Amino acid sequence: MSLNDGALDSNQSWALQLRRGLVTLEQLKERGWLDASATDADLKIAKSALDVRVPAAFHDEINKGDLSLVNQFIPSVLEARIAPEELSDPIGDETFSPVAGLTHRYPDRVLVKVTYQCAVYCRFCFRRHKVSHSEENLSYEALDAAYNYVESHPEIKEVIFTGGDPLVLTDKRLQPHLDRVERIPHVESIRFHTRVPVALPERITPELCEMLNSLEKLPWMVVHINSSSELTDSARAAITRLRRAGIPMAAQSVLLKGVNDSSEKLQCLFRSLFNLGIKPYYLHYPDLAKGTGHFRIPLSHAIEMITSLHGNLSGLAIPQLTVDIPGGHGKIPVNSNSCVLHQSEDKNSGEIWKMKSPTTGEWVDVQYPLCP
């Protein structure tokens, strides 16, 4: 089959589709998508912390009241409520950034943040202290030190393009980053962390697929999808274009209250992904980002939920429930060897867990606030 099968007309501009996204509180208010009882002051606090962008891909379903999309993308006054345990940089990106735009937490791989802009701004974003803030963006030239760092560390085998979303860059702006990494002999693979296939499926053009397919190093596409509602016909077509181009795909999801917090919803999501040729990879417990407490359920409940999928869903379709230990201690699978409940939720506090850092081997106490 040709890579062009099922593709949009190449003359159709994905940039125009990006501009159709709603970016102001006034636009959301005009459509009746904001809580009528919400105060303008709290909504402005939410928008100042993380900008608004609701992509055209989801407008119809949000208009129909699909809460799995409303809760993810429409700002809430609850974002102005910040618990003492919540952090500006919950996973410690800055602690492990030896040069601007690069995070080196694990020996064999690095994150390179080629942009802090996205096709959609998720209200639970853990990197909200930089994402959507255009002044944080780095040019290709500004990232020169990051690529020099990769060149000087032969233990680095994988470069992960993230941000923000690397695929909101045009092909012309993305190509130099790919070329630079291609020239580093010890790097074996390139990974993209992206929401574009569902939030801006028009961006997955035949030209982009050909660019990725032509890479000497193996490109992986890790798509962030939290609800089966995100898998529109256009998104499915974009995913099919990537699959036909030979791009291996995995999915990471975040367990979110009011979005996918039932076994039935998770089963539907993971089965849909699996049937599209995407391996469900991680199910993240929400990070302790400021103003995101309304998205969390108790971690003990999350464990019960993921456990319930076994026996009801193919093992290949079940992701690993993970926690990124606050403060930069690393990502762990949630199991009895790495994560132990120390104090259960009660009326006055949340849960306290002991978690074993994969980077130091030390046990770290983590307190989650009482879930609303």
Provide the annotated active-site residues.
Answer: 105-106, 109, 118, 122, 125, 127, 287, 324, 331
**Do residues 298 and 269 lie in contact, with contact meaning Cβ atoms separated by under 8 Å?**
no
**Amino acid of residue 18:** L
* CA 337 – CA 356 distance, rounded (Å): 8
**Amino acid of residue 353:** W
Is it true that the peptide bond before 101 is cis, omega within 30 degrees of 0?
Answer: no
* CA 197 – CA 217 distance, rounded (Å): 21
Residue 70: CB atoms within 10 A of its CB come to: 21
Q: What are phi and psi of 17, to 5 degrees?
A: -65, -35
Q: What are phi and psi of 247, to 5 degrees?
A: -90, 115
Q: What are phi and psi of 149, to 5 degrees?
A: -65, -45
Q: What contacts 96, CB < 8 A, 6 or more positions away?
A: 103, 104, 105, 328
Residue 19, Cβ density class (10 Å: 0-12 exposed, 13-18 middle, ≥19 buried)? exposed
Overall size of the chain counted in residues:
372
* CA 322 – CA 146 distance, rounded (Å): 28
- Report which secondary-structure segment, H or E, holds 113: strand 109-113
Q: Which strand ranges, in their side-by-side order, compose the sheet holding 351-356?
A: 339-343, 351-356, 363-368
219 beta partners: 190
